[in-house]
Structure 1
Amino acid sequence: MSYDLNDAQPQMAPIGELIPDGTFAKVRLTVRPGGVDGATPMDARLLKASQSSDAKMLDCEFTILEGPHARRKFWQSFTVAGGKVDEKGQSIGWKISKSTFRAMVDSALGLDPRDESPDTKAKRVLPGLKHLDGIVFAARIMVEPASNPQYRDQNRIANVVLPDEPQHAAIMRGETVPPEPVNAPPRKAASAPAPGWQAPTPAWGAQPQAPAAAPAW
């Protein structure tokens, strides 16, 4: 027996090496179940409990699919319930996460973010957050400085790239797009617990009234 190594993929970047600030990439979201029930049957044991508040979060792994950083991964959690609230008693973290999730759907399905037609709005309705598992969209990635020198800087979603932005089509074709660094300033150490969303509906082709179907990616 022999081992032919000629078809081996290139070695991964060193562990701990960050994806450069401002990198544009096509990424896939994978949900990492945390054992806490969500608001729908589909989301049973899907969420993760915050260790510092009553927040419930969607724990996500992002994998770059193409380009010079292909197969690189980073992680980010999004608050979907609990945590700090606004003057109306609504979860601030969920409002931010909801905007990000909508942008992911628009980016993945090529929806004009200004399109409010019934068909388009139906594609933004999620039967459950589990439906986001596997979504592929265009993103700009940032380096978020650590607020404590004991911790490392981390990669985060800076913003989801929408179909009406000039980079979107090239990113989704897998082309290399020049980076646009975010240059985020160092964060101050928080005196209170940081919001659980720190970091970033679908009917991926399915009608909201129909039984939950596989996303259209």
Structure 2
Amino acid sequence: MSGLWNDFNSAQSNTNVIPKGTLAKVHMTLRPGGFDDASQGWTGGYAKRGTTGSVYLDAEFTVLDGPYAKRKIWSLIGLYSPNGPNWANMGRGLIRGILNSARGISDKDNSPEAQAKRRINGFANLDGLEFVARIDIGKDTNGEEKNEIRAAVTPDHRDYATLMGAIAPQYTAPSAPGHTHSQAPSGQQNTQPSATPGTAGRPSWA
């Protein structure tokens, strides 16, 4: 018997949040925001500009495997904040980690080949990447817990190969701007949620 039906203190929590620190392979989709600034390399209509003047990528991550398969997580990747460089630096660090994870590069590898794999022609080269994410927990605008992606797991981690499918990613040189060679995960469609998360979970400095 799983528990008495007049006492629910021992029932499992009904929280919809994936536990903090969970590692999972995810598929990243960038939801276009229509804001470009060629001087910054923001082209293709992927960046979004918020009401505060901050600029970011609106990313959707779909969990591909494991007990949370098909679950979706939404996070903002900072590109610019009028309050200082912190948000943009965090965004650049996250993208570096995503490229390392998706393209099978050790974070310690600074060889010319590794440096070339950390370069992109535009944000279109990020759209559709699959990598191993470390799932975190933040707060939405109502103060409720929500999952976020703040870090990627690289080949330096002992569980990386297993989570990626034990096959080293095959890197293909970035295609020309405006095109992407990425594909949606098998059996998945890049459907949009009925409501756009907007700026939920944006750091105070953004």
TM-score of the superposed pair, with normalisation by structure 1: 0.67
Say if 2:114 is the partner of 1:159.
Answer: no
**CA gap 1:215/1:103 in 2 versus in 1, 3 angstroms:** farther
Deviation at 1:93, TM superposition (A): 1.3
Distance 2:33 2:18 in 1: 26
1:74: which partner in 2? 73
Decide whether the 8 Å contact of 2:125 with 2:182 is kept in 1. no
Residues 175-211 of structure 1 deviation map (CA, whole Å, 9 limit, x = unaligned)? xxxxxxxxxxxxxxxxxxxxxxxxxxxxx5216xx74
Amino acid at match of 2:156: D
1:100: which partner in 2? 94
Say if 2:82 is the partner of 1:83.
Answer: yes
Decide whether the 8 Å contact of 2:17 with 2:147 is kept in 1. yes
**CA gap 1:158/1:78 in 2 versus in 1, 3 angstroms:** closer
The number of equivalent residue pairs is 164
Distance 2:18 2:30 in 1: 20
Distance 1:100 1:121 in 2: 16
Distance 2:37 2:161 in 1: 34
Distance 1:170 1:101 in 2: 22
Distance 1:48 1:16 in 2: 30
Give runs of aligned pairs for residues 7-86 of structure 1, distance below 5 A. Answer: 17-39=16-38, 43-51=43-51, 53-85=52-84
Deviation at 1:42, TM superposition (A): 7.3
Distance 1:29 1:98 in 2: 16
**CA gap 1:36/1:153 in 2 versus in 1, 3 angstroms:** same
**CA gap 1:50/1:216 in 2 versus in 1, 3 angstroms:** closer
**CA gap 1:125/1:164 in 2 versus in 1, 3 angstroms:** same
Decide whether the 8 Å contact of 2:73 with 2:149 is kept in 1. no
154, 158, 172: which one pairs with 2:164? 172
Q: Aligned residues: percent identity?
A: 32
Query: Which has more strand, going by share of residues?
Result: 2
Amino acid at match of 2:55: K
Q: Which runs of 5+ in 2 are unaligned?
A: 1-13, 184-206
Give runs of aligned pairs for residues 128-143 of structure 1, distance below 5 A. Answer: 128-143=122-137
Amino acid at match of 2:112: P
TM-score of the superposed pair, with normalisation by structure 2: 0.70
Q: Which runs of 5+ in 1 are unaligned?
A: 1-14, 86-90, 175-203
**CA gap 1:77/1:38 in 2 versus in 1, 3 angstroms:** farther
